Structure formats: C-alpha cells, structure tokens
C-alpha cells in the first residue's frame, strides 16, 4: 500500500514483506510510533528482554500518559518480554481490575486471522520512584504498569494498544504501521 505526501515522496507500508524475512533476528526489539495516534516517546532496554517505555502526553496536554499505541518488531516466539511503562499518572488503573492490553499481529492477518487480541500476564500497576519534573508536584511520583508479553510469532510486526478503544476490542480497525 502506498501513500503520497505533500512533498511528492511515496511512503510504503511493507509490514507483510517484513514478516516473511527469515533471517531478520536481533537481540533487541525495535519500537516505532511515528504513525497516527502513536505515542511512544522512548524505549530503553534494561535487561535481555525487559524494556522501560516512556509515553508522550496527549496533544495540547502536559499530562495524561495513560493510554499507549506503538509497534514492536524483531521479537522471538516463546520468550517472555517485560514492558514497564514508567510515566503513567492516574492513581488507579483498569489494569488493577483485570484489563489487559491488546495487540495486533501482521503474521496472523497474513494467515487470514486479522484482529486485536488481549495479551499480557503478570500485570501490575504501582507507584515508582520517578518524580514529576515541575516544582509544584515535586513530591508526586509517576506510576508504572508492568506486564509480560509472549509473542505468538518470531519476527512479526505487532501493534500494542491500551486505551478507551481497548474496551471493545477494535476488530474492524486495522493498524497502519510504519515499517522502515
């Protein structure tokens, strides 16, 4: 699928071609969120398969780091990965009541089974030791949501999401992922 930009440069979505490559292994995951509604600011690898993720705030708001939407690739099947989203702000979360993130697999879509599925285990939402940067909230800490993910395929392109649309499992919405 090709999209043209105002500058006349063509952007392509090559997710289906990327997932068919056999020798595209890496010791670390690749993250991407430069697409509509993507809000991952930074991913930091802190262990062999553990990542601290920092979210961007909502547009026109200095706060509200509670939802997320990003792409992950270069994973290995059957190996648990740990994601720690470290700059959540609400004092309580639906994660405390059984909510799970949802993910979309390009490989599953290629196999004729497109759709979002609930994923994640060992989900925990807790106060961390990172303080807000502004002086008014000097004694206020961010919160972290931690969850384990076992990806169903090696070398897949996965979209990860949690937010208000996650409640209804957006089956008909296909993510637009940016592949390089």
Cα 40 to Cα 170: distance, rounded to the nearest angstrom: 20
Average per-residue pLDDT in the chain? Answer: 80
Please check the confidence at residue 172 and state whether its pLDDT lies above 90. Answer: no
Torsion of CA 119, 67, 124, 51, to 10 degrees: 80
Please check the confidence at residue 145 and state whether its pLDDT lies above 90. Answer: yes
Short-list 35, 67, 75, 34, CA closest to 51: 75
Task: Name the more confident of 125 and 91.
Answer: 125
108-144 residue pLDDT tens: 999 999 889 999 999 999 999 988 876 555 678 899 9
Task: Name the more confident of 86 and 174.
Answer: 86
State the chain's maximal CA–CA distance in angstroms.
52
Q: What pTM value is reported for the model?
A: 0.79
Q: Quick one: pLDDT band at residue 106, thresholds 50, 70, 90?
A: very high
Is the separation of the CB atoms in 118 and 62 below 8 Å? no
- Position 22 scores a pLDDT of 54
Please check the confidence at residue 53 and state whether its pLDDT lies above 50. Answer: yes
Short-list 127, 122, 115, CA closest to 168: 115
- Position 122 scores a pLDDT of 96
Topology at the third CATH level for domain 2-168: Immunoglobulin-like (2.60.40)
Q: What is the DSSP string of 101-168?
A: -EEEEHHHHHTT---EEE--EEEEEEEEEEEPSSGGGTTPEEEEEEEEEE-SSTT-EEEEEESGGGGG
């Amino acid at each position: 699928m090709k999209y043209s930009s105002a500058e006349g440069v063509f952007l392509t979505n090559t997710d289906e071609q990327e997932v068919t490559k056999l020798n595209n292994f890496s010791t670390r995951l690749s993250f991407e969120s430069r697409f509509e509604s993507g809000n991952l600011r930074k991913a930091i690898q802190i262990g062999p398969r553990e990542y601290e993720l920092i979210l961007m705030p909502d547009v026109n708001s200095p706060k509200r780091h509670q939802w997320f939407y990003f792409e992950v690739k270069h994973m290995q099947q059957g190996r648990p990965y740990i994601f720690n989203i470290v700059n959540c702000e609400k004092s309580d979360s639906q994660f405390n009541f059984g909510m799970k993130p949802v993910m979309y697999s390009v490989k599953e879509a290629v196999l004729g089974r497109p759709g979002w599925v609930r994923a994640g285990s060992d989900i925990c939402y807790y106060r961390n030791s990172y303080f807000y940067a502004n002086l008014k909230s000097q004694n206020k800490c961010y919160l972290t949501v931690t969850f384990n993910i076992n990806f169903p395929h090696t070398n897949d392109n996965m979209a990860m999401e949690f937010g208000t649309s996650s409640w209804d499992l957006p089956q008909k919405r296909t993510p637009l992922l940016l592949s390089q």
